[in-house]
Amino acid sequence: MTHKILVVDDNSATRRMVRDALLRNGHEVFEAPDGATARAVMAKEQPRVVIQDLMLPDVDGFVLVGELRALARSDVSILAFSGFVSDLDEARVSTVGFDDIIPKPIAPSRLVPLVEAHLPSDPADGPHGNERFGQGRRLIIADDDPMQLKLAAFRLARIGFAIETYPDGRAALEAIRKAPPDIIVSDVMMPELDGFGLAMAVRQDPLLHRLPVVLVTSSYVEPADRELARRAGANDLVPRTPELTELMDTLRATFDPAIARSTPMVAEALPELEKEHNQRVFRQLERQVLLNTGLAKRCSALASELTVLTGISEAVLKHRDVDVALDEALAECFDAGGISLGALYLIEDDVLRVRPIGSTNTLPRSSVLETFFGQERLLRELIASGKTYAIPSNAPVPSRLAVEQELLVLARATAMLVVPVMQLGHPLGGLLMIARGRELDHEDWRSFAHGVATQISHVLTLARVFADREAAERRATAHAALLDAVIDSAPDLVFQLELDGTIRFVNRASAFMPGEKLVGTKIFDFLSTKQGDDVRRALARLIESGEPQGVETSVTRPDGKQTWYSARFGPIRQHGEIVGVVVITRDVTQNKMTEMHLMVADRMASVGTLAAGVAHEINNPLASVIANLEMAIGDLTSFDGALPPEIIDELQDARTAADRVRQIVRDLKIFSRSEEDRRGAVDVEHVL
């Protein structure tokens, strides 16, 4: 049955781990990184279980639990989820409203049963799913596993039992003798006194011999174990499951009046029973030893892998050279694994580069490793397959039988192992292990070799990333130095602005922006209202279009002089989004003055051209006037008739005036910068 579960934790990795574990078991999971989100989810979704961290960024976890309970419209279980619980806090957990504590860190396989123990019973579990048949009954549980003890106690308490818990059989027996319960539930494998011994001790006590005893186990799973439990006096031996279904059914049947209670043991049967008990214990111990031996081998392989990882990391940090690091680390790794010879093949630009590992003195010649004993094509095929390949193979390809035998002969080996070194499915190379006098085609060796190859892959990838990063940092440093030099030596003012006009960088102070504390202020604080409006419009156009914008304005300096500036606004983009503006401001006062002078010169040139035209138009009729006046004066001077004496004076005055006009025309021609008069032969007929 699907239930809603809320996970409240500010650590995203923890939330993801819990979410994935619960989703795999069919539950609907909601996440909240803080108290505010948790309250909103609780009000809307009404989860049945809340897993809540005690340390949240916006609220005290001990306060939030009460707020969540107030928002719940039905029964809800709230579990404290924290790795930092002091004795005082642990005492507060139960008083403020938490139903249980789940310690951090915890494996998902152990977390899910603890959470599901607090979920309401599923009707599909049967007619007794919600039955509280333990109501009014007292139950003692003995188990040396704290987590299993807590899980069983909670599940049994939900069906009405009053629970007492003890960490071993001897402590439980003492409590039972002081105050006999209604029933006893015990694990089998425990220190001090195991479950079989507890059952026999109860049956030998005249005051306790009728108490029901149910044993729970994950180890004693054979039919003979169950028979021994019943002969020892236990009502039953049931397997441990996360839901404790078998235990629940056995407890229900134990309290069924139709089923007879246990009877006292016969004293004569005790020696034989003790003997069989010891035999079963020794068998379990042997089984545990075998399991522990396998675990020890695996731990040894993992330790070797960790040694490789540590050795490679330390060597990389020490030498800053991945080749030297791999040589040192793999030599230690091969020595730890008892491998005398091998090689690391790396593919670089489709070229196979080999690094021998161990002594090559036993080979016919050291160069055979470079070509994989003349089988480079086969090596490339094995690397490309991405799978570990053992020689000799258990199921060899027929065409490779002769090749494998030849490889073993040339390497003077009994076994070889080729492990591809992969990175996200891309082959980086391969690791070759050569053994003499031992086999390598075992799961432990394959796991060991695969772990070593994985670590090599990680180191190679990290080394390349570091090399690329260092190269990028060098380029960035060079570019930054160049940019600093350009900005510092540039005659212009360079600003970096946020989109709201806040100054984040300026290369120097200016006459209209004095002081060294420009960073953090707004550029509008130094501009007039009109100038500020012009800049705001330019910024708005830049943000809308993404194209550079220009603004030109004048500023009155503190000394009263007017200075002209031309500003160019360019967008700063990150991931395609405009996040800021760079402004390059140039003093264009001299340019403005030059433009004004050119404008005046152009106007004067226009006036000169006009004056030249006027002079030309006046000069032609003036020449005629002067010529006619001279002829008139000449004619009158030679005239013998009686004329008024004033006429000649008047004509002389007109002649003088005409000369003055001619001089004015010449001055106009000089003002207009007309070309100098050129003297030379003229074709009169052509002119006429």
Mean pLDDT across the stretch 407-425? 87
Q: 322 and 455, same structural domain?
A: yes
Mean pLDDT across the stretch 422-444? 82
Tell me if 485 is assigned to some domain.
no
pLDDT at 32: 94
pLDDT at 22: 92
Domain boundary among 265, 284, 319: 265
Given a cut of 60, whether residue 320 has pLDDT beyond it is no
Least confident segment among 169-178, 236-245, 635-644: 635-644
Which whole-number Å values give the CA distances from 205 to 1, 110, 177, 189, in the listed order?
Answer: 45, 37, 9, 22
Given a cut of 90, whether residue 333 has pLDDT beyond it is no
Which tokens hold the place of 84?
A: 């930092």
Which whole-number Å values give the CA distances from 190 to 174, 187, 295, 378, in the listed order?
Answer: 15, 7, 21, 55
Q: 455 and 309, same structural domain?
A: yes
pLDDT at 246: 86
- Other CB atoms within a 10 A radius of the CB of residue 7 amount to 26
Tell me if 276 is assigned to some domain.
no
Q: What angle do CA 85, 89, 93 make, to 5 degrees?
A: 105
pLDDT at 515: 46
Q: 309 and 383, same structural domain?
A: yes
Is 248 buried (19+), middle (13-18) or exposed (0-12) by CB count in 10 A? buried
Q: 455 and 320, same structural domain?
A: yes
CA distance from start to end of the chain: 122
Q: Which of 76-85, 212-221, 474-483, 671-680 is most confident? A: 474-483
Residue 102 and residue 108 in contact, taking contact as beta carbons nearer than 8 Å: no
Tell me if 244 is assigned to some domain.
yes
Domain boundary among 433, 466, 499: 466
> How many residues are given for the chain?
688
Q: 455 and 316, same structural domain?
A: yes
pLDDT at 271: 66
Q: 563 and 459, same structural domain?
A: no
Task: Give the C-alpha separation, 449 to 439, whole Å.
Answer: 13
Task: Output the domain CATH number for residue 598.
Answer: 1.10.287
Q: At what angle do helices 245-254 and 146-157 cross, to 10 degrees?
A: 50
Q: 334 and 456, same structural domain?
A: yes
Of 11 and 6, the one with more pLDDT: 6
Mean pLDDT across the stretch 534-559? 86
Quote the number of domains for the chain.
5
Least confident segment among 264-278, 327-341, 380-394: 264-278
pLDDT tens-digit map of 97-153: 788 788 877 888 878 888 887 887 655 544 444 567 888 899 999 998 887 888 788
pLDDT at 315: 57
Which tokens hold the place of 16?
A: 């993801």
Domain ranges, residue 320: 305-466
pLDDT at 128: 46
pLDDT tens-digit map of 453-486: 887 787 777 777 877 888 888 998 898 888 888 8
Task: Output the domain CATH number for residue 426.
Answer: 3.30.450.40
Tell me if 275 is assigned to some domain.
no
Which whole-number Å values give the CA distances from 59 to 16, 39, 420, in the listed order?
Answer: 21, 11, 51
Tell me if 478 is assigned to some domain.
no
Mean pLDDT across the stretch 145-169? 86
Nearest-10 Cα torsion for 316, 319, 323, 325: -50
- Confidence label for 303 from pLDDT (cuts 50, 70 and 90): low
Q: 417 and 365, same structural domain?
A: yes
Q: 160 and 182, same structural domain?
A: yes
- Confidence label for 266 from pLDDT (cuts 50, 70 and 90): very low
Task: Output the domain CATH number for residue 32.
Answer: 3.40.50.2300
Helical H segments across 399-528, by residue range: 401-411, 443-489
Tell me if 507 is assigned to some domain.
yes
Given a cut of 70, whether residue 421 has pLDDT beyond it is yes
pLDDT at 268: 41
Q: 528 and 607, same structural domain?
A: no
Tell me if 479 is assigned to some domain.
no
Tell me if 241 is assigned to some domain.
yes
Which whole-number Å values give the CA distances from 129 to 135, 249, 252, 285, 327, in the listed order?
Answer: 14, 11, 11, 37, 63
Task: Give the C-alpha separation, 4 to 120, whole Å.
Answer: 11
Task: Give the C-alpha separation, 134 to 37, whole Å.
Answer: 39
Is the C-alpha dihedral spanning 258, 264, 266, 270 positive or negative? positive
- What's CA 17's distance to the chain center, in Å? 16
Q: 651 and 544, same structural domain?
A: no
Given a cut of 80, whether residue 351 has pLDDT beyond it is yes
Q: Which of 82-91, 468-477, 558-567, 645-654 is most confident? A: 468-477
Mean pLDDT across the stretch 633-647? 70
Q: 460 and 314, same structural domain?
A: yes
Least confident segment among 7-16, 81-90, 172-181, 447-456: 81-90
